[in-house]
Structure 1
Amino acid sequence: MRPLDPRLLKYASATRGTLAAGALLAVLRTACVVAFSWLVTDVIVRAIAGEDLGSLGGTLLLLAGAVAARGLLLWATDAVAARGGARAVGQLRERLTAAIGKLGPGWVARRSSGDVTLVAGHGMEALEGYFAGYLPQLVATAVATPLLVLTIGWADLTSGIVLLVTLPLIPVFMVLVGWATQAAQKRQWRALSTLSSGFLDVVAGLSTLKLFGRQHRQEARIREVSDQYRVHTMKVLRMSFLSGFVLELVASLSVAVIAVTIGLRLLGGSLDLSVGLFVLLLAPEAFLPLRNVGASYHAAAEGMEAADRAFAVIEAADGVAEPVAAPGAPAGDGLVFEQVNVGYDGRTVVDGFTADVPPGVLAVLRAPSGAGKSSLVGAALGFVPAEGRILAGGRADADGRRGAIAWAGQRPGLVAGSIADNVALGDPAPDGAAVAEALRDAAVGELDPATELGAGGTGLSGGQAQRVAVARALYRLRTHGCRVLILDEPTSALDAATERRLLASVKRVAEQGAAVLVVSHRDAAAEAADRVIAVEAEEVSRVR
């Protein structure tokens, strides 16, 4: 792990202000340390010379002021680091969630939800330790240590040379211990990720496990993974204590070498007491920032491992190019595909797809499984890279298309909360009447909007969850002024009667002026459609 990852400055601009403020405070604290050491030296030397307490009063007041100023600066450093760190972590979490949104549901579906949640949640929280503990010490090392070395060298050249020879030993040991710590931290993070994902999978499938009487078999697995995480955590702690011991030992021996040389020269009369005492007071302070960096490194390692994973997600999103519309005039407020190509890993999934769904039309897209139906929906939403021209509501850019589309995917994507919260998801001021209307039009009006759901929408049947997702799309269509409605397999879990009710509602939505595209292989959907877009697999999916 690099001491300061430059990507932090790029993705969390608050880091720059935190660094600047920390550097200024480090200079002021160093000045207080030098003043404190000089004042203490002056008081001791003058007291040994026989001066009374009255004559030392002014110096003692200055000494008390230096102590108070140093304490105030330490408090200010902690406050700046905590507040700046909170802002930086917030910015990084915002960039992470925006990147996940840009990569889209397809990217999330190919990864463990537990791992993504772990990075965005616990990982970002662990990064606060980096800003609150490690970063201030790193800045202090970069600023205070050179200033103190120069001050000691100016006061006593011999001690300065000894300091320059012994000081690099601490970074050398820090690097050696840091390599081992980084490897152990990666293993600990993998164990935590495995534990998190496994536990979430067990919770999600607990009803199925209980149904078949296999819930108790998961206890051993969770216990085993938890024990692995405990073992890796204890290894990291052992390395932390070991590195702390090594750094303290090296620093103590280095200060002892300086003290011995000063003592011998004082006995020989070649060094003045005031100079020797001043250097002795400053020498431990020169090593202190490096020792603190080593001690706080381990607390920051977990957060930086999470940050590294967050950077990978953000950079992956940055690498997704926005689709560029081919030249041509906008084609109204409907949904338009013109020569659209979609591919993954060098394989073309959709090749040269062209279709037009004008306002007021209910169109059904029919194609065999694997022919790219969901890929076309993802391309329309801007979640899947595509070539060609896609328009939604007259907009060609991905953000503009997403703003014009109300969408319900194959997975309901419900969250813990009330049904009303799920229907009005993301709306800061939900409209209760619109929620109830959307539920009725989605053929699920019998549900109470106040009913609380568990994680993933537990408490509803598969068909009910599917229709609540459709209600969410209808709510968005009406309250956000969307011009296009896309439903991906909305009736796959419904019986024939409920399917007819839902399709009738969707038909009315189209008649009210929306461009509606339903992706479905069901005959009932095709019969209700104004336009059927039927694509053969060999026409849509070809391997180049």
Structure 2
Amino acid sequence: MSREATAAPTGASAKARLRAIGDVARNPLRAAAASGVAGGVLVLPQAALIAACLQRALVDHAPPATLLPLLLALLATLLLRAGLAWAGRRLADRAVETIRIDLRARIARGLVARGPVWVRSQQSGALAERMGAHVDALEGYFGGFVPLRAEVVGVPLAILLAAFFVDRTVGLVLLLTMPLVPIFMMLVGWGAQAASQRQLQALTRMGGHFADRLRGLGLIRLYGRGDAELQGIRAAAEELRVRSLRVLRIAFLSSAVLEFFASLSVAMIALYLGLSYLGMLDLRATPLTLGMGVFCLLLAPEFYAPLRRLATHYHDRAAALAAMDEIAMVLEDDVPVVTDDGVGTSDASAPLVSARGIALRHPAATHDVLRDITLDLGRDQHVALTGASGDGKSTLLEALAGWLPVHSGSLQRAPGLRIGYAPQRPFLFAGTLRDNLRMAKADASDAELEQAAEAAQVMRFAARLPDGLDTVIGERGFGLSGGEARRVALARVFLRDPDLLLLDEPTAFLDPDTEAAVLLAILRFAKGRGVLMATHSDAAQATMMQVWHVRDGRLHRGRHAP
């Protein structure tokens, strides 16, 4: 089966992606929006109760006892608004957490689906930023902007109808000034999204740069490049600072202008009410009571409150759209479609792997490392792959394992083929030896782990460690020798129970006794399986049925077992 792929068409826009991502928490988001609308609409009875209390106390001179029911109703309204605000916040937080977990899982699946070839071409720090800071950048959008959208529509409309019912002039002022806020938000949003995207790109570059330098810190110190690398980190940090300040500048400037429009509108209403009470302006058929004026004056700032909060979160929307453009690069939806250039077969006698005239080259290389490679590798076929260092043995194993794309030719794999690959430099995670072995089979029992470790001769050195297989090692196998790390990788292969073993120098750096034990374990395990082992060891070559030589960029067949 060929691993060559055709690029899938670009997915939906960033807005459509955000909507799709939010579907996983649709119900909590809707409930949070409903709580916000209900709490916003309750400002009408709240303002009416306050106005009624002032009218009775200051104009009608009602006894204080008669105000008690109004005050109790006002207290109940305030408590209900506070409860709805708390419930809305909790629902929004729950939705954000659900979305964050789901999105990170989708990114992880996308990275796995793209395979090691694509992942190895990317900066690990940049990928970590997309799964970390970029996902966190969506919090303000789903936790603030999305629930507020319904409130921005429902609450101002209810207040506008109430204002027109009480005083048409106040309602007209609110109606005419309301469009200024969303229009300005749209104008600001274009610049905010561009600035946010540049900031996130700077954050990605800095994260990738810093992670790579941290991983190579020992080499940097060895060659005395510490000061030069510090300058590079300072430059990346300075770029991020400048980009972040530009985003903040847009945010503060737009918020100030929006506050100006809202304050100006409230001032116009206050001026109208004041002139009406002084008798200098008469636009009403009936006199304006104190209660009516207080009611309108209390509603004016509440009319703009959802719009102002939305303006604050509008920058979160811009940041989310910018982050979505970066996250889309690693989502599972955009994984290239893999096409087959041959029809596989489940026949047990058919080759596990078949190559016809393939050429291999490393990414960004200008010439092929190997060319015109034709081979068939089946079950119970055990092959030693030899050649000088740098001739392409590891390159061929990587291509057969799916870690390197085929530049030309045809490479087919049997359907459902399980491959066990032990590279020359296996990656070991920070954790216990047992955890590293379990990477090959998450549900493996302790007995299975120990059996695989015993077969790969891991127990030879694990028995001398303080906690055996529970001994903690550092990232990339820090604390183990090269030969010990290779044996851990071989134990993973055994635990995976593959159909095809691709082994790159599995016995390097081993003493003769340990090498003999490892080779015996490989031969026992390889019954009914295919084996291709890159090696310089004469002992390893002697145990294999065939020997293939890589020389001058081509594959040459050697001896066969009698």
Q: Is contact 1:323-1:387 (8 Å) kept?
A: no
1:260 aligns with 2:271: yes
Report the AA paired with residue 298 of structure 2.
L
Cα separation, 1, equivalents of 2:224 and 2:354: 53
Inter-partner Cα distance in structure 2 for 1:146 and 1:519: 74
Q: What are the residue-to-residue correspondences of 1:124-139 with 2, within 5 Å? A: 124-139=135-150
- SS of the counterpart of 1:460? coil
Contact 1:467 / 1:490 at 8 angstroms: preserved in 2? Answer: no
Give the fraction of aligned pairs with identical amino acids, expressed as a percent.
Answer: 30
User: Which range is displaced more, 135-144 or 322-331?
Assistant: 322-331
- The 1-side partners of 2:36 and 2:124 are apart by 42
Structure-1-length-normalised TM-score: 0.81
Change (3 A) 1:426 1:133: farther
Structure 2: gaps of 5 or more residues? 1-11, 556-562
Q: Deviations over 1:148-177 (max 9, x none)?
A: 334434444433332232122222332333
After TM superposition, give the deviation of residue 435 of structure 1 in Å: 3.4
Instruction: Summarize deviations over 1:362-421 as a string: whole Å, max 9, x none.
Output: 3457896397652332189x99999886325xx3xxxxx5xx444434552221112222
1:167 equivalenced with 2:190 (yes/no): no
Q: Which amino acid aligns with 2:205?
A: T
* Greater RCO, 1 or 2 (C-alpha within 8 Å, sep 6+): 2
Q: How many pairs align? A: 519
Secondary structure, in 3 states, of the residue corresponding to 2:62?
Answer: coil
The C-alpha deviation readout for 1:292-351, integer Å capped at 9, x for no partner, is 122234456555543432223115x54422556965652239863467889999x99999
With over 3 angstroms needed to count, the CA separation of the structure-2 counterparts of 1:8 and 1:488, relative to structure 1, is farther
How big is each residue's C-alpha offset from its partner over 1:460-488, in whole Å with a ceiling of 9 and x where there is no partner? 344433332222222232xxxxx424335
SS at match of 1:413: coil
1:181 maps to 2:192: yes
Structure 1: gaps (5+ residues) = 396-400, 478-482
Match of 2:20 in 1: 10
Match of 2:255 among 244, 263, 266: 244
Letter matched to residue 310 of structure 1: I
| Cα distance change, pair 468–355 in 1 and its aligned pair in 2 (3 A) | same
Q: Alpha carbons of 1:63 and 1:377: their partners in 2 closer, same or farther (altered >3 Å)?
A: same
Aligned: 1:357 with 2:371: no
Of the candidates 523, 526, 551, which is equivalent to residue 507 of structure 1?
523
Superposed, 1:226-245 pairs within 5 Å as 226-245=237-256
Q: Which amino acid aligns with 1:505?
A: A
| Aligned CA-pair RMSD | 3.9
Structure 1 position 446 matched with structure 2 position 461: yes
Counterpart of 1:148, as a letter, is: I
The answer as to 2:499 corresponding to 1:484 is: yes
Question: Which whole-Å deviations, capped at 9, do the CAs of 1:178-230 have from their partners, x for residues lacking one?
Answer: 33333332333233223222222222212222333433443333233233333
2:385–2:549 contact (8 Å) kept in structure 1: yes
Structure 2 counterpart SS, 1:5: helix
Would you say the 8 A contact 2:192–2:247 is kept in 1?
yes
In structure 1, distance between residues paired with 2:552 and 2:172 = 77
**Which residue of 427, 433, 436 corresponds with 1:422?**
436
Match of 2:308 among 291, 297, 303: 291
Q: 1:480 is matched with which residue?
A: none
CA distance in 2, matches of 1:319, 1:210: 39
Distance across 2 between alignment mates of 1:54 and 1:3: 61
Q: Are the aligned partners of 2:441 and 2:495 in contact in 1 as well (CA < 8 Å)?
A: no
Residues 186 and 31 (structure 1), Cα distance of their counterparts in 2 relative to 1, 3 Å cut: closer
What SS does the corresponding residue of 1:258 show, helix, strand or coil?
helix
Give yes or no for contact 2:14–2:325 (8 Å, CA) kept in 1.
no
Query: Structure 1 residues 426 and 339 mapped into 2: Cα distance closer, same or farther (>3 Å)?
Result: closer
In structure 1, the residue matched to 2:117 is 106
- CA distance, structure 2, for counterparts of residue 203 and residue 433 of structure 1: 37
Q: TM-score, normalised by structure 2?
A: 0.79
What pairs with 1:114-129 in structure 2 (closer than 5 Å)? 114-129=125-140
**Structure-2 change in CA distance of 1:536 and 1:214 (3 Å):** closer
Distance 1:213 1:436, change over 3 A: farther
Pairing 1:334-373 to 2, within 5 Å after superposition: 336-337=352-353, 355-358=376-379, 360-363=380-383, 369=392, 373=397
The one-letter code sitting in structure 2 at the alignment partner of 1:321 is V
